[in-house]
Amino acid sequence: FFFRFFLDLQPLPFLLVPNLVEMSMFHMPRLLAKKRDGFELTKEEIEGFVKGAVDKSVTGDQIGAMLMAMYLNGLTDDETVSLTNALKNSGEILNWDSLGEGKKVVVDKHSTGGVGDKISIPLAPALMACGCKVPMISGRGLGHTGGTLDKLESIPGFNVRIPPIKMVELVDQLNGCMVGQSDTLVPGDRILYATRDVTSTVTSQPLIVASIMSKKIAESPAALVLDVKSGSGAFMDTLEKAESLANALVHVGQALGIKTTALLTEMDCPIGLMVGNAMEVAESMDCMKGQGPPDVEELVCLLGGQLLYLTGIAVTKDEGYQKIRSALQDGSAMESFRTMMIAQGVSEKDAGLLCTDHWAVLPKANEKTDVLAESDGFVQMVHAMPVAIVAGDLGAGRKTQNDVIDPAVGIEFLVQRGDKLEKGQPWARIHHNTPVSEEQVKQLQAALDISQDASDFPSRLIKVIGEY
């Protein structure tokens, strides 16, 4: 219906465009026509639209029509900043005044999502151990990417449903927490996102930027680092798309007074050696013992080092990198995670045991099936997308929001890029609770590229955007 409504709006003469501060049903069609005809909306008009969407004075059809107009005509930088700010202000905003000087070291990180992306789990405790305050609000997995909340919930008793008032308490007492989004934070984004999903406007970059940044800025961080992934296993499958998104995210963050920087990172190959919820927690625990895969440790240290530099805890980014690395190796990150787990519902016994023998606590799959190399050579690449598809089909991911995941299943890699392989040697291991089909094994075999020449393990970092 809203498409007919959208098209039936009469052309709007430029001189008659009002500056709408107060919204009403009478004004909304004129505002829709203004955006439909390609004119720029003012800050007040965008605020009125979001306010009306939340209080229901703007109808669902009108929300859909406005989103389609934004999708077709785009948003200017100023409009994107205004929409982000309006969404942020649509609900509760976290306040850190009770921390005093501590509010200057409140930080967070956001990733655009990838395969095997468990970086938040060791990063948050490492930042806490280095003196940052980390109110990390994370999401669930959907499609081919995993979600931090699903991974954390594979730990028995871990509660991610923490209200904002409790978050402030945990950040004050422990330096951080890892939780899901509260219903009171950014309700406007939930309303707009639900409509974007059914009107095919999800892929609009300005709408993506406003959705991501409104939730992060509602946390009132002093500094924010963004991990924008590029490659076949990322939502942004080309470097050009990823860089455009990174620039837009950084611009909005900086325009709204947050020290914001973005790292463009490679997402052609899965991160680390584990893909699957409990399995990625296990690998995160290894990382917090200083024993994680090189690319996992690199990303944790790069992202954390940026935040330590932005908050002044480190004088240089290199110093920040080394501080985070030390926290992973000296046990202080692990201790921060242990205290966080207990504060968020995990028993002291399980929290302690997870730090020393994680498979005594985490759920394990009933069956394991090895995938064998079909030729000799060196591992050049393991393509992320086929791995994500197989892991999702096993039960590690969701196709819809209502799907139930199996936390125990996933894919384990027995080699990494640059390693030598012999024909018949196991290179991957499927952890499963349902039968594995020949087709799934073939999909994994097709994901492996073998070269006759050895190559070094490359850095994940492509570029830093928003240098300070």
47-77, pLDDT tens digit by residue? 999 999 999 999 999 999 999 999 999 999 9
State pLDDT tens for residues 413-452: 999 999 999 999 999 999 999 999 999 999 999 999 999 9
pLDDT at 88: 96
Catalytic residue among 88, 110, 229, 338: 110
Q: Are 174 and 344 in contact (CB under 8 A)?
A: no
In angstroms, the CA 363 to CA 423 distance is 32
Contact by Cβ (8 Å): 207, 192? yes
Rounded Cα–Cα distance for residues 369 and 455 (Å) = 28
The yes-or-no answer on residue 133 being catalytic is: no
Mean pLDDT, the chain, whole residue set: 91
Can you tell me the distance from the alpha carbon of 177 to that of 49, in angstroms, rounded to the nearest whole number? 33
116-131 pLDDT, tens per residue? 999 999 999 999 999 9
| Secondary structure (3-state) at 81 | helix
First-last CA distance in the chain: 48
Q: pLDDT tier at 4 (50, 70, 90 boundaries)?
A: very low
Q: Is 110 a known active-site residue?
A: yes
Q: What is the four-CA torsion angle of 333, 336, 337, 343, rounded to 10 degrees?
A: 180
Of 17-26, 88-97, 213-222, the one with minimum mean pLDDT is: 17-26
What's the pLDDT at 27? 82
Report how far residue 358's alpha carbon sits from residue 283's, in angstroms, rounded to the nearest whole number.
9
pTM of the model: 0.92
Of 215, 323, 325, 398, the catalytic one is 215
Q: Is the model's pLDDT at 7 over the cut of 70?
A: no
Model confidence pLDDT, tens digit, residues 355-377: 999 999 999 999 999 999 999 99
211 is catalytic: yes
Q: Is residue 259 within 8 Å of residue 332, measured between CB atoms?
A: no
Residue ranges of alpha helices (H) inside 199-293 are: 205-217, 239-255, 277-287
Of the listed 111, 211, 230, 284, which one is catalytic?
Answer: 211
Q: Which of 133, 196, 323, 432 is catalytic?
A: 196
Is 215 assigned a catalytic role? yes
* pLDDT given for residue 78 in this prediction: 97
Please say whether the dihedral angle defined by the alpha carbons of residues 59, 62, 68 and 70, taken in this order, is positive or negative: negative
Q: What is the pLDDT of residue 142?
A: 60
Q: How sure is the predictor about 455, in pLDDT bands with cuts at 50, 70 and 90?
A: confident
Confidence of residue 15 (pLDDT cuts 50, 70, 90): very low
Catalytic residue among 108, 189, 286, 393: 189
Q: Tokens 């929300």 map to which residue?
A: 63
Give the integer Cα–Cα distance in Å for 87 and 211.
8
196 carries an active-site annotation: yes
Q: What is the mean pLDDT of residues 335-339?
A: 98
